A = this chain, B = another copy of it.
Amino acid sequence: MSEKLEQFKTLLTEVADLNAVQALLGWDQQTYMPQGGGEARGNQLATISKTAHQKLTSDEIGKLLGDLEKEFEGADPDSDEARLLDVTRYDYDQATRVPSDFVAEFAVVTSKAFEAWVEARGKSDFSIFQPHLEKVVELSQRYVSFFPPADHPYDVLLDQFERGMKTADVKAIFDALRPQQVELLKAIAEKPQVDDSFLHMEYDEKKMWDFSEVIATKFGYDWERGRQDKSAHPFTTNFSINDVRITTRFEDDSPTNMLFSTMHETGHALYELGCNQAYERSPLAGGTSLAVHESQSRMWENLVGRSQPFWEHFYPEFQRLFPAQVGNVDLSTFYKGINKVEPSLVRVNADEATYNMHIMLRLELEIGMVEGTIKVKDLPEIWSAKMDEYLGIVPPNDAKGVLQDVHWSGGTLGYFSTYALGNLISAQLWEKITADIPDLDEQFRKGEFGALLTWLREKVHVYGRKYAPQELVQRVTGSKIDSAPYVRYLQQKYSDIYGL
């Protein structure tokens, strides 16, 4: 290895360490930190992010990057070295455009915004969060201003999470998807509703927690390299390829959600845990994009965890644990119940057929905020109007409406559409997987998920950030992100359940 490359990699390990530390500060803030630590935590996050930013944008790294790009001209473009330069160039250009002071200010504002969001959500009072969100929007607009004019200012925000994706691309995909989802929802609404009353009874939290960990273990989650904790909003984070943690929550009114939340986060975690170990402490570690990440979490949650074969294996144990709730509910009824389609208020609890509608709503609000055509103070009202238009229901309060998601408090405008894109990718991958592993259902019925995990590791996980998202999807499935497989999947699944 050239001396310069070695030096370059060493410098990048420090950036990776600081990023990992920042993730730990966030994990602790959302799991165990006492309230009194909030102000100091904001300062710590600011100092670490500023320091990481300074290190990444140092003249030393900039010079080495330029020199190495010349040295590797003509080298195999698919080599790890070439891709390391490619990914670092992307990170470096993103970072050098943003001044260190801005990064530090952003960290302070979002740390306070998170605390305010927790309080606002607890009290169901948007006015507590409003001034913080206004600052976040203002900062997002300033962020955009650091970049060359794009086709749309929102492109700059989207690009942070989904390298190379344009607002117009997402709109086009959603425009193709929306009428088909609406048509499906109409067809379902005309059929008799399935029963899911048994999901909303009282369940023991400890038993549910333990069962969620049994499932995560069966999926292949390695507890020597991870753990599960509680937080207000479930998430996955990691401080190494070998320390990838998930969180979950228990909701009294929907106690079984914990299972699907754990499956979802386990999907994210398996992606990070499956990364090539050679990428540890380098920019090549991690998931390539949020949409691809979400394709993994949604696959394990929905395509696996809400499938009939999955429950053929797990249902007897579930019935044994909760005889009062589901002892007299047969598997077919249970399967229909966990796949009930019903317009609902909270995105993370939405079923597969309505989920994308929640995303489309948020995308429109974000674009409006960034353009300045939507004022933050009007969000609760617009939220209600859009919910009524898209799903025919209106939130009774802010907690179940505009305050339900943590994202904006973290300053991550541009993030939401990746959830819907993830759904689409999960179905694209699934068509390939079921072609490659014809007896997948049979394996699930036996509680075996190893072949699926191996496939995902080999085709997706191991590459980390080496391939850009669209490139990865193209390599694995033969086409770019496409809504058709997801529509086919929904149509088939709900035709069975609702007899369409």
Contact = CB atoms under 8 A, between A and B. Distances in A.
Contacts of A43: 13, 17, 281
B243 A37 contact: yes
Contacts of A48: 17-18, 21
A197 interface: no
Interface string A214-245: 00000000111111010000000001111101
Interface stretch (A27-35, A86-94, A445-453, A486-494): A27-35
Interface in A34-81: 34-37, 39-41, 43-44, 46-48, 51
A351 interface: no
A302 to B, nearest CB: 27
B36 A225 contact: yes
Contacts of A37: 225, 239-240, 242-243
A440 interface: no
A25 interface: yes
Nearest to A40: B240
A242 B39 CA distance: 9
Given A17-B47, A24-B25, A243 B32 contact: no
Copies of this subunit: 2
Interface in A317-357: none
B36 A222 contact: yes
Contacts of A105: none
A14 interface: yes
B224 A34 contact: yes
Given A21-B25, A48-B17, A48-B21, A36 B243 contact: yes
A391 interface: no
Nearest to A27: B28
Given A239-B40, A240-B36, A14 B224 contact: no
Given A36-B226, A40-B239, 6 more contacts: A20-B44, A34-B227, A34-B243, A36-B243, A40-B242, A40-B281
